[in-house]
């Protein structure tokens, strides 16, 4: 029966977990809407070129983690490992350049073949926002502010910290890259094999190496700030000033990098100390070179993505389910009438649980197990008088209520 277990790295979302998941998504969606982000969705799979082109043929995601396969028609497609590339593809293929600025919110599953661990699965879920077509630092400030507000609404504002860095413009990044390559070349024999491989194709990634032998070398590496030109310094200063004006605290972290060349200027992460090694719960940055690299017009972009599973773990116990009202018919005539009555009450917005079988005792036990807030009892005597007995499951009191007045009477339990 092992084949009937969930595939490694996937998990079922049973009702309690689904409530926690939905709480994150619905809270984020509501906050994002306040900031003017409109919800959209891209396909769960894309042409593999969408991710190879954006993530780089030599990145870990492309070489080790993508779920890629051929269709019956011979197309090579990939389950999306992240959503920014899909949003950028949509921007190009739907011809949205004349509609900028655009502000999108999304949620949904992503897929990466990596070692499952706490807060990291092979099928995982993300929320995210993207602002496209705004080159000014105001977009960075607003995107970060929306993320901070979502975390605050989830009760996580004091349990996460904003890490902030700048990657500068392409000119600054090129100068820094050359300085890094020169520095690490002096320690070539001491670098890990992975960092030696990264040295000439992606040297910035060495800065976030987890290898202990690399960390000692990285500690004395050149600082990005020493290679920023005046324009890049001014941009970053404006981002910091905006966050300060909004009362959003941040910590400067010059080792926070994005290895791909289309990232520019702001890079940021909201981190926590409560999830072990998986400390980033929301991460993003500015990607002004992405859309042009994919073949679209030169277009600015900035956004972030956050793991729903990690946010759910931080939030803890799921919000309580809405308590139902148990409708308990007694006798054949009452069973038939209860079907109609249940629909009438549901139409009025009430959550009604209609038991399918069993005597009064069994059905009352079911009502208790479901944590019903009230029970409606109808039998032959009640039907003869066009009434129902409503029992309050918390206080224990009960009263007879005309069937026609039930929706109004039960509105106290909405």
pLDDT tens column, 288-329: 999 999 999 999 999 999 999 999 999 988 888 899 999 999
At 79, which CATH number? 3.30.930.10
Q: Tell me how many domains the chain contains.
A: 2
- How far apart CA 267 and CA 288 sit, in angstroms, is 12
Contacts of 335 (CB under 8 A, 6+ apart): 329
Residues 334 and 275 in one domain: no
Query: Cα 225 from chain centroid?
Result: 31
At 344, which CATH number? 3.40.50.800
Two tokens, residue 23:
């709480």
Contacts of 317 (CB under 8 A, 6+ apart): 20
Contacts of 409 (CB under 8 A, 6+ apart): 390, 401
Last residue of a domain, one of 264, 291, 315: 315
Answer yes or no: is 24 within a domain.
yes
pLDDT number for residue 225: 87
Residues 390 and 241 in one domain: no
Residues 148 and 36 in one domain: yes
pLDDT number for residue 137: 98
CA dihedral 305, 310, 314, 316 (to 10 degrees): 130
- Give CA separation, 141 vs 147, 171, 338, 339, in Å: 10, 23, 56, 54
Residues 160 and 235 in one domain: yes
pLDDT digits (tens, 9 = 90+) for 118-151: 767 899 999 999 999 999 999 999 999 999 999 9
Contact 192, 213 (CB under 8 A): yes
Residues 28 and 123 in one domain: yes
Q: What is the pTM of this model?
A: 0.89
Query: Cα 143 from chain centroid?
Result: 14
Helix (H, G, I), strand (E, B) or coil at 285: strand
- How far apart CA 180 and CA 172 sit, in angstroms, is 12
Helix (H, G, I), strand (E, B) or coil at 282: strand
- For residue 260, the enclosing domain spans 2-169+229-315
Query: What b/e readout covers 77-98, taking b as 16+ CB neighbours within 10 angstroms?
Result: bbbbbbbbbbbbbbbbeeeebe
Q: Which stretch of DSSP H or E encloses residue 259?
A: none
In order along its 414 residues, the chain shows pLDDT tens digits of: 457 898 898 999 999 999 999 999 999 999 999 999 999 999 999 999 888 877 765 556 666 788 888 988 889 999 999 999 999 999 999 999 999 999 999 999 999 988 877 767 899 999 999 999 999 999 999 999 999 999 999 999 999 999 999 999 999 989 998 999 999 999 888 888 888 888 887 888 888 788 888 888 988 899 888 999 999 999 999 999 999 999 999 999 988 888 677 889 999 999 998 887 668 999 999 999 999 999 999 999 999 999 999 999 999 888 888 999 999 998 888 999 999 999 999 999 999 999 777 788 898 999 999 999 999 999 988 899 999 999 999 998 999 999 999 999 999 988
Residues 33 and 117 in one domain: yes
Query: What's the first-to-final CA gap in the chain, in angstroms?
Result: 43
What values do phi and psi take at 82, rounded to 5?
-160, 170
What values do phi and psi take at 305, rounded to 5?
-135, 150
Last residue of a domain, one of 258, 291, 315: 315
């Amino acid at each position: 029966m092992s084949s009937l277990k969930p595939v490694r790295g996937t998990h079922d979302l049973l009702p309690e977990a689904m409530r926690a998941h939905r709480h994150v998504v619905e809270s984020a969606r509501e906050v994002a809407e306040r900031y003017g982000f409109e919800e959209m969705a891209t396909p769960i799979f894309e042409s593999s070129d969408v991710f190879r082109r954006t993530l780089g043929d030599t990145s870990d995601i492309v070489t080790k983690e993508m779920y890629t396969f051929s269709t019956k028609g011979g197309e090579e497609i990939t389950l999306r490992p992240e959503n920014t590339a899909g949003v950028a593809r949509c921007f190009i293929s739907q011809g949205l350049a004349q509609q900028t600025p655009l502000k999108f919110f999304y949620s949904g599953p992503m897929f990466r073949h990596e070692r499952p661990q706490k807060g990291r699965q092979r099928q995982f879920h993300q929320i995210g926002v993207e602002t496209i077509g705004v080159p000014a630092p105001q977009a960075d400030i607003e995107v970060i502010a929306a993320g901070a507000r979502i975390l605050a609404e989830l009760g996580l504002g004091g349990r996460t910290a904003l890490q902030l860095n700048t990657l500068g413009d392409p000119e600054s990044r090129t100068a820094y890259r050359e300085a890094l390559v020169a520095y690490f070349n002096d320690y070539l024999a001491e670098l890990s094999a992975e960092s030696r491989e990264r040295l000439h194709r992606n040297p910035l990634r060495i800065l976030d190496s987890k290898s202990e032998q690399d960390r000692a070398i990285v500690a004395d590496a050149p600082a990005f700030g020493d290679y920023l030109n005046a324009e890049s310094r001014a941009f970053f200063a404006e981002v910091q000033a905006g966050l300060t004006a909004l009362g959003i605290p941040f910590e400067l972290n010059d080792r926070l990098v994005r290895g791909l060349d289309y990232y520019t200027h702001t890079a940021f992460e909201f981190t926590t100390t409560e999830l072990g090694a998986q400390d980033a719960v929301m991460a993003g940055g500015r990607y002004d070179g992405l859309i042009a690299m994919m073949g679209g017009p030169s277009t600015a972009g900035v956004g972030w993505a956050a793991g729903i599973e990690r946010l759910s773990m931080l939030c803890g116990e799921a919000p309580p389910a809405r308590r139902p009202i148990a409708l308990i018919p007694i006798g054949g005539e009452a069973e038939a009438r209860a079907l109609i009555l249940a629909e009438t009450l549901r139409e009025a917005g009430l959550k009604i649980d209609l038991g399918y079988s069993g005597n009064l005792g069994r059905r009352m036990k079911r009502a208790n197990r479901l944590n019903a807030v009230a029970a409606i009892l109808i039998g032959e005597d009640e039907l003869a008088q066009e009434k129902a007995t409503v029992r309050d499951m918390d206080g224990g009191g009960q009263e007879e209520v005309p069937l026609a007045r039930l929706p109004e009477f039960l509105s106290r339990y909405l």
